[in-house]
Amino acid sequence: MPTVLLLDVSLSMCRPVLQPDIAEPYQLRNLAVHGLNSLLDFINQHCKLEFCSLIIFSSSCEILSPFTRDLESVKKALLNIDFYDKTCIETALGSTKNAVLEEWGGSVPCQIILVTDGSTGIGPNSLKQRLQDIGTKTKETEQRFPLPFPFPSKLHVVCLSNPKDSNLQVSIPLYQKLIDMNGGNGQVFVPEGNLNLKTVQQMFLKLAETYYRPFHGTLHCGNLNCNISLSPPPEACEKINDFDSRKVEMSTDILICGFLDINQASNPPALSRHLVLPIPPQSLKEEGKAVMMKQDIDASDDDAVVGNDEGKQPSFCVLLHGSLKVEGMVALCHLGEDWYGMLCSWADSKKKSNLMLSTFEPGLEVVPWLGKFTQIGPASLLPELSKSVTENSFPIKLAEKRSYAQNCVVWIRQMALQADIQKILRHARKLPDKTQNFYKELNKLRRGALAFGFYELLDGMAIILERECTLLPGSAHPDAALQLTHAASALRSQVYRDYNSSIKPLCTKFSSGD
C-alpha cells in the first residue's frame, strides 16, 4: 500500500520548542523530521515492499521524492527542506490526489500522512473557511474540493502541538471532518504529554504499529508448512448479508485445500492481492515479529536468495511456487471462516515471478463456475462416466463461443483510440485496394463508440474522413473519394446508430468492375 508523506513547510513550522535539558531549542520542523525518520525506519524494517513519496506544502506544493522503495533517499530529502509562507491544506490534498492518480490510478489503496503543527491556515483559503464554503455554497464548490479521494485511502493527520494548546482543540474537529469526508478511514494523532523528541517519536511509532503492522502466518499443506509474510498486510473484510453484516479477518493459519488447473480456475474476481514471502525460522523473534526476506523470487532457478546461509535452507514456499509454475496450476486455500483465496505464480516481468495470494469475497459460492467450496473434492472420487464430461465442460463448455474471444476494442488510454483511428486512415489512403479492411475497421470503431455511448467520436471520425477526401492527390482513384464521402455520411446517419447494423461499401461503377 503506497504511502504519501505530506509535510507542512509553512513559517509556523519554524517556531521554537523549549526543551528543559537542551540549551538550544528545537524547532517544530526538527521534530517533524525526527518523527518521520522513525516512521521510515519502521517501514524499512517491517514493510520492505512499501512505496513512499514525500510532498511538502505551504500555499503551494512540491514533490521532493516520487514514489520509491529507497527510503534512504526520502530521509535525505527531509534534510533539504526550505520553508515558505502560509498553510493551505486543500492545495496539499489536491496535489496528493494528482500524484497518486498519475502513478497508481484509481484502484490501488494508499495511505496519506499529513504532518502539520495544528494550524489550519488563515484567510479565505484556510481549512475552516473552505469547509464552511462546502456546507453553504453550491455543488460546484464541493466538486472542486479534493476529498473524497477517487481511490481507496486512509488519511492520517499528525499534529506537532501540545495537547492542551487552545488552537489545537479548535483544529482537531476540522481534521476529523476531513477524515470523515474521505470515508472515515484514518486517525488524528496528538503527542501524549509535552511536545519533545521522545513524545513525537512515540506518536509516529504508534501510527506505524497501528497501520504498518506486518502480517505473519503459517501456510499449511498436509504435513508441510512454512512461516510466511503477506505484503501488503491483509485487512479485515466486512461481509454484508441480507439483514446483517459481520467483520471477517484472515487467520494466521492458511490451509491449502486442493489444486486446480489454471484453465479451471479461469480468472475469478479478487478482493485483494498479496505477495507471499517466506520467513526463515531463525529470523523469528520471541514476540512473533520477523525480518522480511528479499522481495523477489528469481524465476530462472525458482530459489529465494536471501543470504548465503538462508538461501541453502529448504522452503516449502519456494517448492510450492516452483510447482505451481511448472505444472500450470493454482492452489485453493482457506483463509478464515467462510473465506477462501487462491495461490498462484505471478510474473511481473520475464525474469522475475512471485507467489501471489488472491483473496475472494467472503462466502462459499463467490466463484460461480467452481460451485460451493465445501463441496469440491478430488477428481478421483467422480464416477467413471462423468469424468470425461467434467473434464471437457469445467468450468466453461468448450463448445460455447467465449465472449472474451471476440475482437473487441479497449480504450483505457488515449493511445489505444488514436491507434484505431490511424489504422482506419492507413486503409483509407489505400482505397480502393483496401476497401474491405477499411470498412471492417470502421465498423469496429463505430460499434465501440456505440457501446460506450461515445457519439462524439462518430461525428469526429466523419470530419476526419471528409478532410482526407479533400486531401486526396489528383492521381487518386475516383472510387476513393466516393467511398470516403459515403462513410462520412453513414457515420452521421441515424440508421447506422443501431449496434447490429453495419456500414457496407458503396457500390459504384468502379467497384462493380464496369
* 89 and 206 within one domain: yes
The CATH number of whichever domain residue 167 belongs to comes to 3.40.50.410
* 194 and 47 within one domain: yes
* 290 and 274 within one domain: yes
Where a domain ends, among 211, 237, 270? 211
For 53, the domain range is: 3-211
The H helix count followed by the E strand count for the chain is 14, 18
CB-CB contact of 10 with 61 (8 Å): no
| Count of all residues that appear for the chain in the document | 514
* 382 and 285 within one domain: yes
Number of domains in the chain: 3
- The answer to whether position 510 is within a domain reads no
- The answer to whether position 398 is within a domain reads no
Fill in the amino acid letter for 207: L
* 442 and 371 within one domain: no
What residue ranges of the chain have pLDDT lower than 50?
285-308, 385, 389-390, 392-399, 405, 513-514
- The answer to whether position 486 is within a domain reads yes
* 263 and 155 within one domain: no
- The answer to whether position 319 is within a domain reads yes
DSSP labels, 386-427? HHHHHHHHSSS-TTSPPGGGS-----SSHHHHHHHHHHHHHH
Among the listed residues 352, 345, 318, the one whose alpha carbon sits nearest the alpha carbon of residue 330: 345
pLDDT of residue 393: 46
* 440 and 336 within one domain: no
Angle, vertex CA 273, rays to CA 311 and CA 244, nearest 5: 135
d(CA 432, CA 451): 29
Where a domain ends, among 335, 370, 392? 392
* 207 and 156 within one domain: yes
Where a domain ends, among 180, 211, 242? 211
- The answer to whether position 171 is within a domain reads yes
Among the listed residues 397, 259, 376, 390, the one whose alpha carbon sits nearest the alpha carbon of residue 325: 259
pLDDT of residue 336: 87
* 152 and 242 within one domain: no
pLDDT of residue 113: 93
DSSP single-letter state for residue 284: B
**CA dihedral defined by 17, 18, 24, 30, rounded to 10 degrees?**
-20
- The answer to whether position 424 is within a domain reads yes
d(CA 503, CA 88): 55
pTM: predicted TM-score of the whole model, two decimal places? 0.65
d(CA 273, CA 191): 35
- What's the half-sphere exposure (Cβ side, CA atoms, 13 Å) at 480? 22
* 123 and 14 within one domain: yes
pLDDT of residue 294: 36
- The residue with cell 524547532 is 27
The CATH number of whichever domain residue 330 belongs to comes to 2.40.290
* 384 and 355 within one domain: yes
- The answer to whether position 400 is within a domain reads no
* 326 and 453 within one domain: no
- The answer to whether position 355 is within a domain reads yes
Question: Euclidean distance between the first and final Cα of the chain, in Å?
Answer: 68
